[in-house]
Amino acid sequence: MPADHAAPSPMMPPVPAHSRSPLPHPTASRAPNRAPRARGKIRRLAALAVMALLIASTSATPSLAQERAQDSARGKARDKVSFGTNWRAQGGHGGFYQAQADGTYERYGLDVTIVQGGPQVNNRPLLAAGKLDFLMAGNLLHSFDNARNDIPTIAVAAFFQRDPQILMAHEGVYADFAALRNARTILIGKDGQFSFWQWLKSEHGFRDEQLRPYAFNLGPFLKDDKLVQQGYASSEPYTALSQGARPQVFLLADHGWSTYSTTVETRAELIRTKPDLVQRFVDASIIGWVNFLYGDHRPAYQSIRQANPEMTDALLDYELKVFRERGIADSGDSLTRGIGAIDMARVRGFHDKMIKAGLYKPGDVDIDKAVTDRFVNKGIGVDLRKTLTR
């Protein structure tokens, strides 16, 4: 097991009963006195004071079991929340599975069910239909499209500050990103053809003559060392390496592709009627991501493997390494504002790039109906990260 699996948990366990100092026995030997009742009362008060201190010392950082017992005693029910992802469980969902597995959601008064996406599962329409409370989306284009089509959903957090979208070539074939414009063939999937490929043409001079469809199969790439293809920084390079290739990765975020990614959307109606619920879900998810990136991520690994048996620790380790080294989830604004941070000026700037690329016309999208920073930028998790990375 890798060394980083053994990182200590930020949660301190309660003091074991056998390690607590015993209270004085009420029949301990006494010096003769003429006021036994008064002294007996003093001893009882002292005993109660010691007991109060012991209770305070063990409840300052209550365990999840203690909190459950306290909530049960108060008759407090946790709010049921359904959260849909956009694919099968993987490292890119790690912070959410962490918050579920280590009890963070429960500590925020939430009973969260994670509903996996997948090749035959489209969770997107379920959010607007009220079948899901929150949805993990891809980049900002999804939210822009919803606003343009008057779908009443809105992005409330951006858990990836940098989109992991890449172009991948063979090492040593192309000197730099600009040289990719000379590639004979670039494989791009259908969604990419109508999103970042349009930006690559308008911003960097790529040409449709280079474009060929990507079938999400690395076979052509492995056979042709001059071929370039799209990918995800935490996925295709790992597969290529495992097949003996030496991929060179060009992260689009390094070249002006400024969208946020792994956004979380909810319905405008839920923001209006239950803003506290939205805030608690966002805050707890932020803490989950901090613990996944910097703390003991074993609970998330186990939960992800249970949900998706195709995942392995080796692949999860690779994904986590990419997220850390590339600053995917935690970089820029999130270092001071907290993971999930949103800069509305950056959102508008990306929207302007997409107008230039021809994806939208001016006036198509009301940005304030697509994205809000109301629930982020509060510094949640910043101190926890400092504690975990000392």
pLDDT in tens, 161-186: 999 999 999 999 999 999 999 999 99
Residue 68 has pLDDT above 70, yes or no: no
Cβ–Cβ contacts within 10 Å for residue 389, how many?
Answer: 11
The verdict on residue 70 lying in a domain is no
Q: How confident is the model at residue 269 (pLDDT cuts 50, 70, 90)?
A: very high
Number of domains in the chain: 3
Q: How confident is the model at residue 255 (pLDDT cuts 50, 70, 90)?
A: very high
Residue 85 has pLDDT above 50, yes or no: yes
Q: What is the model's pLDDT at position 71?
A: 53
153 plus 294 within the same structural domain: yes
The verdict on residue 15 lying in a domain is no
What b/e sequence results for 216-226 when a residue is b if at least 16 CB atoms lie within 10 Å of its CB, and e otherwise? eebeebeeeee
Averaged pLDDT for residues 301-330: 97
pLDDT by residue (tens digit) across 32-49? 343 444 444 444 544 444
Domain that holds residue 363: 77-159+259-388
Q: Which of 198, 197, 194, 187 is nearest to 228 (CA)?
A: 187
The verdict on residue 287 lying in a domain is yes
270 plus 222 within the same structural domain: no
Q: How confident is the model at residue 371 (pLDDT cuts 50, 70, 90)?
A: very high
pLDDT by residue (tens digit) across 112-128? 999 999 888 889 999 99
Cα 231 to the chain's mean position, in Å?
A: 20
Domain boundary among 255, 287, 307: 255
pTM listed for this prediction: 0.81
Residue 326 has pLDDT above 50, yes or no: yes
384 plus 268 within the same structural domain: yes
The verdict on residue 176 lying in a domain is yes
Cα 56 to the chain's mean position, in Å?
A: 34
Averaged pLDDT for residues 343-347: 98
Residue 3 has pLDDT above 80, yes or no: no
Q: How confident is the model at residue 76 (pLDDT cuts 50, 70, 90)?
A: confident
83 plus 176 within the same structural domain: no
Q: What is the model's pLDDT at position 119?
A: 85
129 plus 200 within the same structural domain: no
Residue 29 has pLDDT above 90, yes or no: no
| CB-CB contact of 252 with 167 (8 Å) | yes
The verdict on residue 20 lying in a domain is no
Q: Where are the beta strands (DSSP E) in the chain?
A: 79-84, 110-115, 134-136, 153-160, 165-170, 186-188, 211-213, 228-232, 247-251, 261-267
317 plus 358 within the same structural domain: yes
The verdict on residue 9 lying in a domain is no
Lowest mean pLDDT among 60-64, 191-195, 201-205: 60-64
Average pLDDT, the chain: 86
Lowest mean pLDDT among 3-12, 280-289, 303-312, 322-331: 3-12
268 plus 374 within the same structural domain: yes
344 plus 242 within the same structural domain: no
328 plus 359 within the same structural domain: yes
Question: In sequence order, what are the beta bridge partners of 141?
Answer: none
294 plus 360 within the same structural domain: yes
What b/e sequence results for 344-374 when a residue is b if at least 16 CB atoms lie within 10 Å of its CB, and e otherwise? eebbeebbebbeebebbeeeebebebbbbbe
114 plus 220 within the same structural domain: no
Domain boundary among 255, 271, 296: 255
| CB-CB contact of 345 with 258 (8 Å) | no
Q: Which CATH number fits the domain that encloses residue 202?
A: 3.40.190.10
Q: What is the model's pLDDT at position 67?
A: 53
Please identify which residue in the block is written with the tokens 């901090």. Answer: 290
205 plus 311 within the same structural domain: no
Please identify which residue in the block is written with the tokens 């991520």. Answer: 297
Residue 95 has pLDDT above 50, yes or no: yes
Question: In sequence order, what are the beta bridge partners of 81?
Answer: 112
The verdict on residue 317 lying in a domain is yes
Lowest mean pLDDT among 115-124, 146-155, 321-330, 365-374: 115-124
